[in-house]
Amino acid sequence: MRIAISGAGVAERGLDDVVAAARTTADQGFTGFWLPQLFGFDALTTLAVIGREVPGIELGTAVVPTYPRHPMMLAAQALTVQAASGGRLALGIGLSHQIVIESMFGYSFDKPLRHMREYLEILVPLVHDGSVSFTGETLAANGSVTVVGATPFPILIAALGPKMLELAGAKADGTITWVTGPATLEAHTVPAITAAAERAGRTAPRVAVSLPVCVTDDPTAARERAATLFQIYGVLPSYRAMLDREGAAGPADVAIVGNEATVTKALQRVDNAGSTDFLAVEFGASAEERTRTRDLLRSLL
């Protein structure tokens, strides 16, 4: 299992801080640096900057919402990042959530599975072949995208439910999960996407697992902090369904917290569940916790 660092926390700071965090991640030997697309810096633009300044590591998005971006435009942007970074992009995309897409962007969230299927019918050919001709029920594209110096890159879907996992296995290169615990990964996520990839004759998919992690001598306080920091993910329907599968009351119950031995054991369980990548969302409250967490993660590389 490869271990990468999520820049979710540092993404709220200045651009120089994000670049510095990515450089430290590379210098420490981690396999990748991943950014979410929230309501600040554009993740792909930021990764293009990082790609010109920080060599050697994979640069990923976890994840870019699809509804606000036509797939032809996303293909052009992502291929530009691929060229700027020398071929190190991993593009994670996702539906986002109904409350975001309808209440904030004003788009319809009707039939999200159909939306993602049609989105991939446009995005994948553009990334691999540079051209597309497709007309669906809600999306259409006829044209080409040419970015000199760009090569195809992996496309991962934030797939949680069975139908979306089936689509990810058949049409994409893997999945990215969030607040999905090891029991759910082992019994639901990994078997579903792997079987779909096998049926489609594709190579084994990537399963990038993102969870909060904190090495601490006070796990009770850490879980209380996680309950506050990640509270919203306990009520969004797609994440709520994964927490229910896990038997977890909320995101704090799937956060990886404890001393070095406890966290190591928990990460081993994630690995054993079939994960290919771990995207660490560090949330230490003190400099000591943050240092211990990073040192433990480095020791497992």
pLDDT of residue 9: 85
- Give the C-alpha separation, 112 to 47, whole Å: 27
Mention every residue, 6+ apart, whose C-beta is less than 8 A from residue 236: 97, 99
Question: HEC string of 120-145?
Answer: HHHHHHHHHHCEEEEECCCCEEEEEC
Average confidence score pLDDT of the chain: 97
Rg of the chain over CA atoms, in angstroms?
A: 18
In this predicted structure, the answer to whether residue 32 has a pLDDT above a threshold of 90 is yes
Long-range CB contacts for residues 231-238, cutoff 8 Å, separation at least 24:
233/178, 233/179, 234/179, 236/97, 236/99, 237/97, 237/98, 238/95, 238/97, 238/160, 238/161
Give 15-25 pLDDT, tens digit per residue: 999 999 999 99
Instruction: Tell me if the bond preceding 63 is cis, omega within 30° of 0.
Output: yes
Q: What b/e readout covers 59-70, taking b as 16+ CB neighbours within 10 angstroms? A: bbbbbbbbbbbb
Percent of the chain scoring above 90 in pLDDT: 97
- Give the C-alpha separation, 118 to 101, whole Å: 17
- Give the C-alpha separation, 220 to 258, whole Å: 9
Domain definitions of the chain by residue range: 2-221+258-299
Q: What distances in angstroms separate CA 275 from CA 41, 61, 166, 191, 228, one per listed residue?
A: 28, 17, 17, 11, 27
In this predicted structure, the answer to whether residue 12 has a pLDDT above a threshold of 80 is no
In this predicted structure, the answer to whether residue 11 has a pLDDT above a threshold of 80 is no
What's the burial of 236, exposed, middle or buried (CB within 10 Å: 0-12/13-18/19+)? middle
Of 27 and 11, which is predicted with more confidence? 27
Give 164-211 pLDDT, tens digit per residue: 999 999 999 999 999 999 999 999 999 999 999 999 999 999 999 999
- Total residues belonging to the chain: 301
In the three-class reduction of DSSP (H, G, I as helix; E, B as strand; rest coil), residue 90 is classed as: strand
CATH of region 2-221+258-299, choose from 3.30.930.10, 3.20.20.30, 3.40.50.720, 3.40.50.150: 3.20.20.30
Output the CA torsion 175→120→195→58 (10° steps): -30
Give 81-135 pLDDT, tens digit per residue: 999 999 999 999 999 999 999 999 999 999 999 999 999 999 999 999 999 999 9
Q: Side chain identity at 247, as an amino acid letter?
A: G
Give 217-272 pLDDT, tens digit per residue: 999 999 999 999 999 999 999 999 999 999 999 999 999 999 999 999 999 999 99
Tokens of 288: 């000591």
Tokens of 255: 């956060």
Tokens of 89: 């992009």
In the three-class reduction of DSSP (H, G, I as helix; E, B as strand; rest coil), residue 52 is classed as: helix
Selection from 3, 4, 79 nearest residue 34 by Cα: 4
Mention every residue, 6+ apart, whose C-beta is less than 8 A from residue 285: 214, 216, 221, 222, 225
